């Protein structure tokens, strides 16, 4: 039996560690039949080392999503490798340290602007850079952390994720006529590279110990990876502008 991504070509960003959601999305995508290409910044060599742990070899391209030159050459580089694209995974987020950890009221705009550019606007930038390769439609899948709420320690990454979620909806609106779907996976907290950059992350993660209906494992990114792969597949042909929660059900619980 062939996999649900058989014959698909997918670009995946954000493979930084073996524990990252993006790594598991890449691994599962290959297992489900996809050809993949990875992007990395600022250390492509790190991603190349991690990529050796995937089931099959995967080329790594340097891509700074805030760099117009990098974005401008992306379609040519990916096209040379894969010919075209059927899916794109956006797993990119960053905020300076003074935008996190309880400093919300004192964060300067420059730091907020950086968080918004890298974490939200980049979804539009990456998607439009890949459009020339998606002539037959496809799927864009990003990662969010439920922006309905003000989370402890998360500070300006919260508004950045809210902007990401809105950006995904507008992309869904504008790209539907090209048969391109744009959806997000809202994952629960995981002990990833991104988590390590958030001061007091353990306080945020502790919420899942008492409120999540399903037991949540901080060390298991595979469920989120499966959510990404499912949305990349043809099993959600008429779903766009959606946020699929892979968070143990916590989003549905009031207290």
Check if 238 is active-site. no
| Annotated binding residue 92 | yes
Determine whether 109 is exposed, middle or buried from the number of CB atoms within 10 Å of its CB (0-12, 13-18, 19+).
exposed
The rounded radius of gyration (Å) of the Cα atoms in the chain is: 17
Check if 170 is active-site. no
| Annotated binding residue 60 | no
| Annotated binding residue 14 | yes
From 8, 27, 124, 154, the catalytic residue? 154
Enclosing H/E stretch for 37? strand 35-40
| Annotated binding residue 37 | no
From 161, 177, 219, 226, the catalytic residue? 161
| Annotated binding residue 243 | no
Q: Which residues pair with 140 in a beta bridge?
A: 88, 182
| Annotated binding residue 228 | no
Helix axis angle, 157-175 relative to 122-130, nearest 10°?
30
The two structure tokens encoding residue 207: 């919420």
| Annotated binding residue 227 | no
CA dihedral 117, 179, 30, 61 (to 10 degrees): -40
Q: Which residues participate in the annotated binding site?
A: 14, 20-21, 64-65, 92, 95, 161
Q: Which residues participate in the annotated binding site for NAD(+)?
A: 14, 20-21, 64-65, 92, 161
Q: Which residues participate in the annotated binding site for substrate?
A: 95
Active-site residue list = 154, 161
């Amino acid at each position: 039996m062939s996999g649900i991504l058989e014959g698909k070509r997918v670009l995946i960003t954000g493979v930084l560690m073996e524990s990252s959601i993006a790594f598991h999305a890449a691994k599962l995508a290959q297992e489900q039949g996809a050809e993949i290409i990875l992007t990395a910044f600022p250390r492509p060599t790190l991603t190349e080392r991690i990529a050796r742990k995937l089931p099959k070899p995967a080329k790594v391209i340097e891509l700074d999503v805030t760099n117009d030159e990098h974005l401008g050459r992306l379609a040519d580089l990916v096209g040379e490798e894969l010919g075209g694209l059927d899916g794109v995974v956006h797993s990119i987020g960053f905020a300076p340290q003074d935008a996190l950890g309880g400093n919300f009221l004192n964060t300067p705009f420059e730091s907020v602007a950086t968080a918004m550019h890298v974490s939200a606007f980049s979804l539009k930038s990456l998607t439009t850079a890949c459009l020339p390769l998606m002539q037959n439609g496809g799927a864009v899948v990003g990662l969010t952390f439920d922006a309905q709420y003000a989370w402890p320690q998360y500070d300006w990454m919260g508004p950045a994720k809210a902007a990401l979620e809105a950006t995904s909806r507008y992309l869904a609106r504008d790209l539907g006529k090209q048969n391109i779907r744009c959806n997000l996976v809202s994952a629960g907290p995981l002990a990833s590279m991104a988590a390590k950059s958030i001061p007091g992350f353990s306080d945020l993660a502790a919420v899942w110990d008492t409120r999540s209906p399903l037991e949540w494992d901080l060390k298991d990114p595979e469920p989120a990876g499966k959510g990404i792969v499912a949305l990349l597949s043809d099993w959600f042909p008429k779903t766009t502008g959606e946020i699929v929660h892979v968070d143990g059900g916590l989003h549905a619980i009031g207290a």
